[in-house]
Each structure stands twice: as structure tokens, then as C-alpha cells.
A and B are shown apart, each in its own frame.
Chain A
Amino acid sequence: MKKYILPSLKMTLLLMLVCSLLYPLLIAGIGRLAPGGGDGQTVTVNGRVVGYALVGQKFDQDKYFWSRPSAAGFNAAGSSGSNKGPSNPDYLKDVQAHIDTFLAHNPGIGKQDIPAELVTYSGSGLDPDLSPEAAKIQVKRVARKRGLPEDSLYRLVDEQTSKPLLGFLGPSTVNVLKLNVALDKLNTDKMK
């Protein structure tokens, strides 16, 4: 084995140069050309950064469209899911609590109409999206709270909906942060 040690050592150092240094630096260089310069794309309102477009944040006030429940408490420096098994009784109590909270804040909505994603934890704890259905079911509440016509909010959700890739691959989604930024803008526009 001895005769292989020196070549192993040299090869490790050389490949480290290629794989751990040149390669990531090349990608970081190319990344500067990407939106956000490779540092992550931010969303700004009136010049203030309010979040990263891709990273979900907590929305639990009635005047905003809510995000999905997060087992990580929306900690973007410690992503994680709940890792609860489907038959775990404590977990099912959690789900029940989410259902109860949702019903209490959204009177008039039937239980069977609540999309599952609004009462279950996302995988990363940072899911930035909702399905269009999960956004639309919150329109009544938001409209009432803000004194806006429901029609304009349904239209807003439609505008903010990203269609499936190429129109036929994968689900439609709504980015909650962008939706809520647009929502605030709708209010300010109305006041003008």
C-alpha cells in the first residue's frame, strides 16, 4: 500500500484545487450574472427589503394571505419539516388545531373546502407558495378585513398565479410574499 500513499496525497491536493476551488469560483462568477447576483433575489417595497422571493415568511395576520404552517417557525437559518409520521396521534392533534384556527378566522368556510396544504407543515418550513385554491379560500377574510371588493382580490390572485411549466408540467402556484406585496399596493392605490 505504501507506494500508493504519495500519489494519493498529490492527487488529493490537485483535485481539491479543481473541484473545491476553481469549480465553485467559476459558478460564483457566472452567478454574478444571474438575477440577484447569486446572493438570492430580494423583494423590496419602497426601497426596503422585505424578504427573499424564494424564502417563505410568516403571514398570520388576517389582513394578509396566510402562508403554510412551518415546523421550523420560518427560521431561514434552520430549515426543517415536522418529520411527523402519518399515524402519529399528537401530530393529528396539531392538524386539528390548524383546522380550528383556520375556521375561527374564516367564518362561513366549510371544513371540506380547506386545501390540505393550509393545515399541514411544509417540507422545508419555508414553502413560499400556495396553490391558487388555497389563496382564493382566504379572499373573503382578507376582503372583509381590508374593505376591498372580493372580485378585485380574486383577480389579484389570478394575476399572481404562476401557471405550470410550459403550461402542462407540474402544479400552479402563487408566491405568498409577492401576493401580499401586491395586496398592500392595491390598498394604497385605492386611497389615492
Chain B
Amino acid sequence: MNTDLLGVIVTFAITVLLSYPLGRYIARVFKGEKTWLDFMAPLERLIFRLCGIDPKKGMNWKEFLKAMLTINLLWFVYGFFLLMHQDKLPLNPDGNPGQTPDLAFNSIVSFVTNTNLQDYSGESGATYLTQLLVFTFLQFTSAATGIACLIALFNGLREKTTNNLGNFWSIFVKSITRLLLPLSIVVSVILVFNGTPSSFKGKDTIITMQGDTVQVSRGPAAAMIAIKQLGTNGGGYFGANSAHPFENPTYLTNMVELISIVLISMALVFALGFYIRKKKFAYIIFGVMSLFFVLFCINNIYFESKGNPAIARLGIAQHTGSMEGKEVRFGAASTAYWSVITTSTSNGSVNGMHDSLMPLSGGIVILDMMINALYGGVGVGLLNYYIYIIIAVFIAGLMVGRTPEFMGHKVEAREVKIAALVTLLCAFLIKGGTALASYIFVHHPNADWAVKPSGWLNNPGFHGFSEMLYQYTSSTANNGSGFEGLADNNVFWNVTAGVVMILARFIPIIGPVAIGGLLANKKFIPESAGTLQTDSVTFGVMTIAVIVIITALSYFPPLALGPVAEYLNMR
């Protein structure tokens, strides 16, 4: 077996082995049991006291969501103004300009929603101040928002009947102090010792061996890169993201970043089992997610290692696979693995350019974002998966002719309506957005805009269509990666993608938390012989079927028009 493939397998194995104990640790933290990071408790108490918060006060689902939405709105407002006026603020050694209003709107939405789409380029579109005070900050807090909302759902599942989903502030702060911050410190120290800058010195100018004068961007990158991966944010410090040799210097850092991308999301699945004392239920979920995940990896590793058939026709052998948009130190297999893991988790960082992936690997990463629940973003991945569960429970109930039940609570019309609405919304945003953009591209190619629609695409034909489909899929999944050939820094793309990100972030969070709250409020029905066993393999298969059916019905047409058509055309 070659070393490229071994690298991928070992990375995946380490991730699973680490995520299990981390899951147990997370469950202990939020149950309030003793952990070795209890020395953070005084800091937390200080924060609560200064903020005038009683961390023990329970919240029902409406109060919980209101607190979450209020603080998110606040971040949106201050970030928007900071980005627009960053040129006049300190810590701007490279003299970068302020962002235009539409770009600032897109950027701030993108980071508040944990998307990190980045229509700007880190080297020239942000300052050290905004990289830290806006982007790094939101990478912590948007991740903690997702985790807090998931723990609220856990609290609803844990009790027989309750209207207390926990205290938002308390869970939110602990997600940072007990989980995100300590892990980020570990990861950034590894990065720094492998060559990632943590510098405040600004650009350096050097003269190369051939005599060219080159400017080299640096900055406090290591700190941001650690949380970008651990919080499934994905927004890089440099334009080329983790393909940049400073952002991801070696194969070792590549492995560390690959592990960080999915570690917490995976651990939260195990945490669910420990927290609600239903380990088998968690294992089944983990199994379903991993099944899809591994199949997607096999597909992408196969196509990327095989190379580009069009380049093969030019007479090049491609023993190392398709190398366009990839880096030698990672190799094709590890870049293919990264492309799946980053789209499974709503992370969106890249170590190779997705626009240059082979057609069917590109198709799989788009599909992966459409499902958006294979481990998923921190917190929100399981919330999305919960929607699939509710629909599976509902359909299973219909099949046997009983009122559907989940964890001892009747699932009734209201809950199913919410779940259906969330699913339909995502399909609507992806297809509606792509349809709108395609319409304008075809019918108004010369519209009098700063960037004419005819200049949007970097590639012709089916692949060009995929660029637009990718952008709305990535925005809807709050992923943030792109087919970066798309000219997206202009009013049309900044605004439409921004609106899509907001809707696709908050409605799929509000929906499951509301369902969780509503269910937890209902009378508890003890298990009987007729109860649907949700921790069985049968139910796992049922969930797989629901995921396949919903995704296939919703998304087959656009996938056929983009990646599949390109594949068939270039064989």
C-alpha cells in the first residue's frame, strides 16, 4: 500500500480514537461533573458576575433562543462597522483598505453564521485588527453558539418531561473555556513550531535567488488557524487557505488540521450517548454518518489519484494523480480526503482548490454539503441529523400505523411540519439561488454592474454552472468553501449569498431546538412492545433511506446538470 493512502487511513483512525474520550469529556463538562480543566471555573464565575448572569437559571426553548439570537445580532452590527472602517483603525501594518458595504455585509454574515465564505482575500482584504477582533473572535463564538444549541437539545432528550433546556450563557461560555480554547492552544502551538507565523511584523520584502523582489505576507496566523479548524469555521488567514505553505506547512500539520476539522463534531456524537445514557443510539448515528463518509472518501480518492483524463490525452502519465490545484507535500489522496471531510463538517477550509477537482469528486463535495449532517458543523451537524431522525420516525410511524414516538414523546403534526420546513428551505435556497443566478447569467449577461454577469465564471459549460451551484450550496450549508473561480466579490453575490447564509444558519438551528423543546414538554410515555426502537440497526437503515430519498429527490436535477454532465462529457 502506498504512503499517501496509509497517511489518510492513519489520520482517520487517530481521529476516531481521540473523539471517543473527548466525547466522554464533553458530556462530563455539561453534566457539571468534575474534569481536569476545573481550574477554568473562577474565570467563568468572573465572567458571569461581571455580566450579571445567574448561570444556574434554567431557560425554556424560547428564552434560550432569544438569548442566542440577541448576542448574534450584536456581533453582526459591530463587525459590520469594524470591517467597513478597518483602514482607519490601528493594527493595519499592510495599509489595507476598508471593505465596501456589500463586502462587509457578506463577510460579517459569513463569520457570524460559522460559514466563512470569504469574498475578500486575507492578505489584502482584512487588517490584523479585524482578523483578530472580528474573524478569530467569531470563529470561537459562532462555534460555541452551535454547541450551546445542541446541548439544549441534549437537555431536552435527557429528561422525561421538562421545559428547562439549560442556561444559554453558561453552556456558551463553557464551550469556549472548556473545549474550544484549550484545544486551540494545543493545535496552534503545534502549528507554530512547524513554521506557521504568529507574527505582528507585517509584510517582509525579500530578493529571491533569481533576483525577483517579492513581498511575503505574514501575521498572527497560527492562533486563527487552530480555531478555524476546531470550530468548523474554515476561514483562512491567507487567500489560499490551508493550501498556503504558512497556513499548513507540513504533512504533520496537515494531519493535525485534518483531525481538528472533525474532532469535536465526531466527539459530540459520542457525547450524546454519554449525556443521555443511550450509548447504542449514538453508535448507530456514528455508523450511519461514517458509512456515507467512507463511501464519499473512496470515490474522491479514486478519482483524484487516477488523474485528469484530459491531461492523460495530452500524453502525461500522472503517477501522482491529478495535481492541478494541489500541493506536493500533501499529495492527491490526502487532498481528496480533505475535500470530503471539510464538506461533511461545514468547515470549508481547503488544502487544494475544489474548482480543479475531477467532475465526480466535485459532485460528491457538493452532495456532501447538501446532506450537511455527516458529523456536520460543531453542534449544528447533529441538529441537522436530528431533523432527518424526526422525519424517519414520522415515516416509520406511518408505515406501522402508530402515532410516531421518539424517546418517549409523541411526535405530532407541529414537530413534523417544522422538520419538513427546514428540509424544504435548504432545497429552496440552493436551487432557487442557482436558478436566479443562471437566469441572470443567460438573459442579462451585460447588465450594467461593476462586474458584468458575463464575467462571473472562470470556466465555461457545465463546470461554470457547477461554480454557481457550489456557491449557493456552500452558503446554505454554512460551509464556506468555494469553486473559487467564481467572481463573487460584487453586489449580486455578496448580497444574495449573505441572505442565504443568514436564513440557512438560523432557521435550521431554531427548528430542531424548538422541536426538542416542544417534545420535552410533552407527557412521557414509557416504552412498550410496540415502541419504535430508535437505537436499532433497523432504524439506522431507515435513517439512511430518509437521507438518500430526501437528497436524491431534492438535488438530483442540479447535480445532473453540473458535475455529472461534465463527467460524461470528458470521459
Chain A residues with a Cβ under 8 A of chain B: 1, 4-12, 14-16, 18-21, 23-24, 26-28, 30-31, 34-42, 45, 48-61, 64, 68, 72, 74-89, 91-92, 95-96, 99, 111-117, 119-131, 133-134, 164-165, 168-173, 177, 180-181, 184
Partner among A36, A111, A123 whose Cβ is within 8 Å of the Cβ of B326: A123
Chain B residues with a Cβ under 8 A of chain A: 3-4, 6-7, 10, 43, 47, 50-53, 66-67, 69-71, 74-75, 78, 94, 121, 123-124, 132-133, 136-137, 140-141, 169, 173, 176-177, 181, 184-185, 188-189, 192-193, 195, 197-201, 203-204, 206-210, 212, 214-218, 220, 222-224, 227, 238-240, 243-246, 249-252, 254-255, 307-308, 310-311, 314-331, 334-335, 350-353, 355-359, 458-464, 466, 483-485, 566, 569-570
Known: A38-B197, A77-B124. A12 touches B206 (CB 8 A): no
Partner among B51, B246, B315, B351 whose Cβ is within 8 Å of the Cβ of A14: B51
Known: A24-B223, A40-B197. A126 touches B317 (CB 8 A): no
- Inter-chain contacts of B358 with A (CB < 8 A): 86
- Inter-chain contacts of A122 with B (CB < 8 A): 243, 323, 325-328
- Inter-chain contacts of A74 with B (CB < 8 A): 212, 214
Q: Establish whether residues A20 and B133, one from each chain, have CB atoms under 8 Å apart when the complex forms.
A: yes
**Which residue of chain A has the shortest Cβ distance to B566 in the bound complex?**
A87
- Inter-chain contacts of B176 with A (CB < 8 A): 15, 18-19
Known: A4-B66, A39-B201, A129-B327. A12 touches B71 (CB 8 A): yes
Please give the distance in Å from B223's CB to the nearest CB on chain A. Answer: 4
Q: Establish whether residues A124 and B10, one from each chain, have CB atoms under 8 Å apart when the complex forms.
A: no
- Inter-chain contacts of A83 with B (CB < 8 A): 325, 353, 355-356, 458-459, 483-485
- Inter-chain contacts of A92 with B (CB < 8 A): 310-311, 314
Known: A19-B141, A124-B327. A117 touches B123 (CB 8 A): no
- Inter-chain contacts of B215 with A (CB < 8 A): 75-77
Q: Establish whether residues B123 and A79, one from each chain, have CB atoms under 8 Å apart when the complex forms.
A: yes
15 A-B pairs with C-beta separation under 8 A: A10-B50, A11-B173, A40-B195, A48-B207, A52-B216, A76-B215, A79-B244, A80-B239, A84-B324, A92-B314, A113-B317, A116-B317, A120-B322, A120-B324, A170-B251
- Inter-chain contacts of B66 with A (CB < 8 A): 1, 4
**Which residue of chain B has the shortest Cβ distance to A123 in the bound complex?**
B243
Please give the distance in Å from B474's CB to the nearest CB on chain A. Answer: 14
Q: Establish whether residues A116 and B322, one from each chain, have CB atoms under 8 Å apart when the complex forms.
A: yes
Most buried by A among B140, B198, B310: B198
A-B pairs with CB below 8 Å: how many?
377
Q: Establish whether residues A180 and B307, one from each chain, have CB atoms under 8 Å apart when the complex forms.
A: no
Partner among B3, B94, B359 whose Cβ is within 8 Å of the Cβ of A164: B3
**Which residue of chain B has the shortest Cβ distance to A68 in the bound complex?**
B328
A165 to B252, CA, bound (A): 7
A188 to B203, CA, bound (A): 32
Known: A77-B216, A114-B316, A116-B317. A50 touches B208 (CB 8 A): yes
Known: A131-B328, A180-B209. A86 touches B4 (CB 8 A): no
A127 to B353, CA, bound (A): 13
- Inter-chain contacts of A130 with B (CB < 8 A): 328
Q: Establish whether residues B67 and A11, one from each chain, have CB atoms under 8 Å apart when the complex forms.
A: no
Partner among A42, A53, A86, A111 whose Cβ is within 8 Å of the Cβ of B359: A86
Partner among B222, B311, B352 whose Cβ is within 8 Å of the Cβ of A116: B311
Q: Establish whether residues A85 and B356, one from each chain, have CB atoms under 8 Å apart when the complex forms.
A: yes
- Inter-chain contacts of B4 with A (CB < 8 A): 170-171
**Which residue of chain A has the shortest Cβ distance to B309 in the bound complex?**
A86
Please give the distance in Å from A47's CB to the nearest CB on chain B. Answer: 13
Q: Establish whether residues B245 and A128, one from each chain, have CB atoms under 8 Å apart when the complex forms.
A: yes
- Inter-chain contacts of A78 with B (CB < 8 A): 121, 123-124, 217, 239
Most buried by A among B51, B188, B566: B51
Please give the distance in Å from A84's CB to the nearest CB on chain B. Answer: 6
A129 to B458, CA, bound (A): 27
A136 to B201, CA, bound (A): 38
Q: Establish whether residues A170 and B3, one from each chain, have CB atoms under 8 Å apart when the complex forms.
A: yes
**Which residue of chain B has the shortest Cβ distance to A57 in the bound complex?**
B208
Q: Establish whether residues B210 and A5, one from each chain, have CB atoms under 8 Å apart when the complex forms.
A: no
Partner among B94, B199, B222, B569 whose Cβ is within 8 Å of the Cβ of A87: B569
Q: Establish whether residues A95 and B209, one from each chain, have CB atoms under 8 Å apart when the complex forms.
A: no
- Inter-chain contacts of B10 with A (CB < 8 A): 169
Q: Which 10 A-B pairs have the closest CB atoms?
A: A31-B198, A123-B243, A83-B485, A85-B463, A79-B240, A81-B353, A170-B251, A124-B240, A8-B71, A85-B459
